[in-house]
Amino acid sequence: MGKEQKVRVDLHVHVDGKLTKENVIKCLIKAEQDKVQKLCLLEHSHLDVLAPVVEVLKDGNLRDYYSGELILGCEYDTMIDAHHINKDGTNYDGFISHILSYYNLEDALKLYKNKILHNRNFKKDYKHDYKELITILNKLDKSGDVEKPSMKELKSIGEPHIIKDLRVWICKNEGRKAQYRKLLNTDDSVLDYPSDFIRKMSQDPKGPLFYKPSFVPYASELFKILRKEAKSAKIVLAHPAYMHVVFTKENYLETMMSYENNIDVKTFDGIEVCYYFNTKKEQDFLEKYADKRHFIKTAGSDSIKVDGEMYYIHDGVKYYFVPELGNALGTAFDIKNVTIKKQGDKKIIETKNGGSPLVVDKNLFEDIKVDVVSAFEMLKKKKLKH
C-alpha cells in the first residue's frame, strides 16, 4: 500500500478516570490535538464507556471536539481454553489473553442494553473475587498468622482489579510486605510492579493466587457469543508482541490461531500490528504475519492517562512519558527518535519529530464507523443509562 493510503489512528484508548462525558470530551480533544484520524475509546471487559460517548453524540456537537472517525469497541480479558500444544510442547490454557472487538453503533447498543458480556456487576464481581482470594490466602497460610485484608479495605483502594488492590494493601506496611514475600514466595521486584504482580501471582495457572475472575469468559465463549450477537463485530488479537512478558510471541500466536480449527465459528478478523510497545523488528514480523493470513491490521497506543503519565520498559529500565495518541514509542526508541531526561529518580522520554505514528489503511473500519448525523437523529430519541 502506498503512503497516501495510510492514516494516523489510535484504536486502543482507555478513558482516563471515571467514565464521564467530561473525560470522554477530554479524550476527543486530545485525539484532535494529536492529529488522530480514526479513534476508538474502550475499556476492559465492559461497554460502559458507551454511555458517556452517547451523551456527546446526543448533544450533536461531537465535531466541536473531534473531526475524525469514531469507532466503538471493547477490550476483553479472556481465559485461554485452546487445548492446543505448541510445537515446543507449551500449553497456555488458563492464561489470560486480551482480545479487541469493534462494532457499529447498533450492535454496540444491543450488547450494552442486553448486558451481553460487557456489563459487569462490579459489586457482585468484587464479592466473588474477594471470596476466592481469601480462600486461597487461607490455604497458603498454614499457620494462620498472616494478616488478611477485609473486603472494605481492598475496595477502598479503588484499583480496577482486586489483585492490584491486594498489592497496594500489602505494600502499605513493611511488616505485612515481609509476610507476603514469604507467603507468596516472591520478592520486591514483583511486589513493586503492578503488572508483574498480576501476571505472576494470578494470571499464571501455576501462580499462587490463580483463579478465574467472575467477569472473564473463556476465549471460545467470546467468539461464539460475539458472532451470534454482533454481526458487525471485527475481532482482533490485541498487542501480541506485548504479550511476550508471559509468552513467546510465536507460541502465543500459534495458540490463539489454533482456535480457528477448534470451534465452529469464525475467530479472528485481524491483529493489532502497530502498538506503542512494539520494536521495529516486532512490528515488521506482525505486518508480514497479518499479510500472510489476510488479516486486517489495527494500531493502538493503549493510552490510559491522556493527561498523566504512562511508562515504557526498555532493557529492564522504566521510562515515563506523557501519552501522545496515535504514537508508537517502541519503534521511536528503536530508531533513537527519543530524548531521555532525568527528573529526580525518574527517567522521562520525549519523542522527537512526533515519534513513530500508528497508521493503518485509510479504509479500515469504514463499514462500522459512527455516522455522526444518523447517530444524533437516532440517539436523541433513546434513553441510555450507566
The model's pLDDT over 359-376, given as tens digits with 9 standing for 90+, comes to: 999 999 999 999 999 999
DSSP E strands in the chain: the ranges are: 6-14, 38-42, 69-79, 96-103, 234-237, 270-275, 296-300, 310-314, 317-321, 327-328, 338-343, 346-351, 356-357, 359-361
Amino acid identity of 298?
T
Write out the residue limits of the CATH 3.20.20.140 domain(s) in the chain.
3-119+218-304+357-379
pLDDT of residue 1: 43
C-alpha cell of 20?
A: 464521564
User: How, if at all, do strands 38-42 and 69-79 pair?
Assistant: parallel
C-alpha cell of 327?
A: 504514537
User: 185: left (phi > 0), else alpha (psi -120 to 50), else beta?
Assistant: left
Could you give the angle at which helices 162-171 and 174-183 cross, rounded to 10 degrees? 120
Task: Name the pLDDT band for 123 (thresholds 50, 70, 90).
Answer: confident
Residue 180 pLDDT exceeds 70? yes
| Residue whose C-alpha cell is 487445548 | 83
| pLDDT tens, residue by residue, 27-52 | 999 999 999 999 999 998 889 899 99
Residue 245 pLDDT exceeds 80? no
236-252: b (≥16 Cβ within 10 Å) or e:
bbbbbbbbeeebebebb
Percent with pLDDT over 90 in the chain: 66
Among the ranges given (83-92, 139-148, 241-250), the one the predictor scored with the smallest mean pLDDT: 241-250
Q: What is the mean pLDDT of the chain?
A: 90
Dist. CA 251–CA 244, nearest whole Å? 10
Dist. CA 189–CA 201, nearest whole Å? 13
CA distances from 73 to 39, 103, 167, 249, 330 (A): 10, 6, 29, 24, 24
Dist. CA 240–CA 246, nearest whole Å? 10
Dist. CA 364–CA 37, nearest whole Å? 11
Residue 149 pLDDT exceeds 80? yes
Residue 224 pLDDT exceeds 90? yes
What CATH number does the domain located at 3-119+218-304+357-379 have? 3.20.20.140
Dist. CA 7–CA 35, nearest whole Å? 10
Determine the average pLDDT of the residues in 76-96.
Answer: 93
Dist. CA 19–CA 14, nearest whole Å? 10
pLDDT of residue 305: 75
Give the torsion sign (CA, 332, 32, 346, 350).
Answer: positive
Q: Report the largest interatomic distance among the alpha carbons of the chain, rounded to a whole angstrom.
A: 67
CA distances from 9 to 32, 128, 238, 355 (A): 11, 38, 15, 14
Could you give the angle at which helices 105-113 and 219-229 cross, rounded to 10 degrees? 120
Nearest alpha carbon to residue 307 among 21, 105, 31:
31
